Amino acid sequence: MSSESHLKDKVILVVDDEPDVLETVEEELDMCLLHKATDYDTALQYLLSYTYDVVILDIMGVNGFELLKTAVSRGFPTVMLTAHALSPESLKKSIKLGAVSFLPKEKILELGSFLEDVVLGEGKPVWAKLFGKLEGYFEKRFGPDWKEKDKFFKEFEEQLKQELDNES
């Protein structure tokens, strides 16, 4: 990423139990100040001790949903980054618990672009942009009618459309 990045000098916590994922995130976000944790307890201490521009949480292996509750309660925009828990259920739970975005680890090399959306969104959820960018990916993973199968997603999509209409 160029030095013009909106992520330059942002303080970011990334939590994942896989060291190679942490290394990749560190390479992708070399313009940021990164705190890394590989377990729940370390991550919780970081969340309670520092202030973050963005928090990135794995779900499996680090109790990501519990960490999400803490991060949201502290007012940190939080992005879920997952491979094993990539499902409509995890996506729904992430939305309900206050995450601002949800990324498949397969898209980790695009992490900077997704986080720029979060930073430019000033900590507000960026679900409309995310669904726009990943609609085809989610349809391949979850099936073409995945949103229609769950009333929550149909209502959530309507809400996003209304918010976009109100902004324009």
d(CA 30, CA 84): 26
Whether 79 is in a domain gets the answer yes
Whether 2 is in a domain gets the answer no
The pLDDT value recorded for residue 164 is 73
Count of domains observed in the chain: 1
**Domain span at 40:** 11-124
Whether 162 is in a domain gets the answer no
pLDDT > 60? residue 38: yes
In 3D space, the residue among 41, 9, 13 whose CA is nearest the CA of residue 25 turns out to be 13
State the CATH number of the domain containing residue 15.
3.40.50.2300
d(CA 140, CA 152): 20
DSSP code per residue over 127-145? HHHHHHHHHHHHHHHH-TT
The pLDDT value recorded for residue 3 is 42
Strands 54-57 and 11-15, by their bridges, are parallel
Whether 98 is in a domain gets the answer yes
Whether 63 is in a domain gets the answer yes
Q: pTM of the entire structure?
A: 0.91
Would you state the structure tokens that stand for residue 164, as one six-digit string?
């976009």
Query: pLDDT tens digits for 64-115?
Result: 999 999 999 999 999 999 888 788 999 999 999 999 999 999 999 999 988 9
Query: pLDDT tens digits for 102-148?
Result: 999 999 999 998 899 888 887 677 898 888 889 899 999 998 888 88
Phi, psi of 34 (to 5 degrees): -110, 130
